C-alpha cells in the first residue's frame, strides 16, 4: 500500500484521510501493521461493498448524476487505528530495504512472467 500511496501523494498532495475496508479490517494486528507501515491514522469502515460503492459514486459524478462528491452516500466509520509507537521506525527501515531490493529484482520480472505464461493452466 505504501508503494501506491506515496506516488499518489506526490501527484495529488497528502491524503486527508485513509479509509480502510474489507475483511482485514476485522484483524487488529493487520490494522496496527498497516497504520504503522503507512505511519498514518486509519479510519476503518466495515462494508463488504465499499469499493463497489466508491466506483459507483465516481461513475455518477462523471456522468453528472451526482452534483458533487460531498453529496454522495457515505459508509459509517467503525473505528480508528493509529500507528504503533516504535513500529514505524522499524517499518521505515524495512521499507528502505524493500525499495532497494525492488530495483535490483525488477530486471528479472519479465523472465519470471514469461515462465509463468509458459506453464499449463
CA distance 14 to 6: 9
In three-state secondary structure terms, 81 is: strand
What mean pLDDT do residues 59-77 have?
92
pLDDT exceeds 90 at position 24:
no
What is the value of pTM for the model shown?
Answer: 0.77
Looking at residue 80, the DSSP 8-state letter turns out to be: E
Where do the domains of the chain lie, and which CATH numbers do they carry? 2-113 (3.30.420.40)
Please give the mean pLDDT across all residues of the chain. Answer: 93
CB 47 within 8 A of CB 21: yes
pLDDT interval class at 76 (50, 70, 90): confident
For residue 48, count other CB atoms closer than 10 A to its CB: 9
Amino acid at each position: 500500500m505504501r508503494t501506491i500511496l506515496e506516488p499518489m501523494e506526490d501527484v495529488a498532495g497528502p491524503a486527508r484521510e485513509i479509509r480502510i475496508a474489507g475483511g482485514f479490517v476485522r484483524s487488529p494486528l493487520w490494522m496496527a501493521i498497516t497504520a504503522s507501515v503507512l505511519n498514518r491514522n486509519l479510519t476503518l469502515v466495515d462494508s463488504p461493498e465499499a469499493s463497489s460503492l466508491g466506483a459507483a459514486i465516481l461513475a455518477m459524478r462523471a456522468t453528472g448524476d451526482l452534483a458533487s462528491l460531498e453529496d454522495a452516500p457515505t459508509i459509517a466509520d467503525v473505528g480508528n487505528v493509529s500507528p504503533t509507537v516504535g513500529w514505524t521506525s522499524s517499518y521505515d527501515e524495512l521499507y528502505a530495504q524493500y525499495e532497494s531490493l525492488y530495483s535490483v529484482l525488477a530486471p528479472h520480472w519479465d523472465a519470471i512472467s514469461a515462465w509463468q505464461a509458459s506453464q499449463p493452466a
